Amino acid sequence: MPLLGFGTWQAHGESAHRSVMAALEAGYRLIDTATAYGNEDLVGQAIADSGVPREDIFVTTKLPAERIGREQRTIGESLRMLGIDQLDLWLIHWPPSRGNLVDIWRTMIEIRDAGQTRTIGVSNYSLGQIDELIAATGEAPAVNQIKWGPRLYDEALVQGHRERGVALEGYSPFKTTRLGDPALTTIADAHNVTPAQVVVRWHIQHGIVVIPKSVTPARIRSNADVFGFELTDDEMSSIDAMGH
């Protein structure tokens, strides 16, 4: 799974198609969408139009928890709209508020075993909820996608995911961050990059998957242009400290 991905929530219509095309052109190789975003067809069209081979792109979509009992139909619709035969990752978007956590997880496992998705995971789950899934089925989610950023940094949560073999994927890296915070602008100036690039780079150096969203071509490119500098240990620690 690539550490850098592209988010598509609130990208609609022509701008969803255009931004995914721009992201693939800029080098992103993970695209994150969801049934609930209502843009899988546009994302799929952009993947097809991009000319990037399907096998080079890691495609994630998500099952709304209220589709319990309609999992099979939902993944079928996602695949059809995305124009692909198999997902790379299918997530449960939120823990279900009705029914139990384990039933929907068992269905996800069956669907994964039937080959419609390479891997399965969860989103917005606590470690306790993940433990419930592992205890009942012996299968940990491949990924937990949760809200993450410097101000939400929590070493114990990072460690907890690592111990369970669950990849941590962060969402809303910018919405959870004050990009004008001097703790970030000072580091950005030292590397001649933007605070947004520092935030993306910080995730990657921690081994945490990051999926920034933008519909603005210049931002799409610059958010991915994070492989030409490296944060020092002191800089990483001072960004971590924003979470305390």
Chain residues binding ligand NAP by CB under 6 A are 7-9, 32, 93, 123-124, 145, 171-175, 179, 194, 196, 211-216, 219, 222-223
Nearer to ligand NAP, 160 or 195 (CB): 195
- Using alpha carbons, list the distances in angstroms from residue 32 to 28, 140, 183, 189, 228: 11, 21, 29, 30, 24
Nearer to ligand NAP, 113 or 154 (CB): 154
- Distant-in-sequence, close-in-space partners of 94: CB < 8 Å, separation ≥ 6: 64, 65, 123, 124
Q: How far is the CB of 45 from ligand NAP (least distance, A)?
A: 17
37 is catalytic: yes
Structure tokens at 3: 């550490």
Q: How far is the CB of 171 from ligand NAP (least distance, A)?
A: 3
User: Does the CA dihedral 184-27-35-166 come out positive or negative?
Assistant: negative
Q: Which alpha helices (H) appear in the chain, and where do they start and end? A: 13-26, 40-50, 71-82, 101-113, 127-137, 155-163, 182-191, 195-206, 217-224, 233-240
Nearer to ligand NAP, 79 or 122 (CB): 122
Q: How far is the CB of 169 from ligand NAP (least distance, A)?
A: 8
Nearer to ligand NAP, 35 or 45 (CB): 35
Closest CA to 117 of 146, 143, 145: 143
Q: How far is the CB of 97 from ligand NAP (least distance, A)?
A: 14
- Catalytic position from the list 28, 37, 125, 153: 37
Closest residue to ligand NAP in the complex (CB): 7
Tell me the catalytic residues. Answer: 37
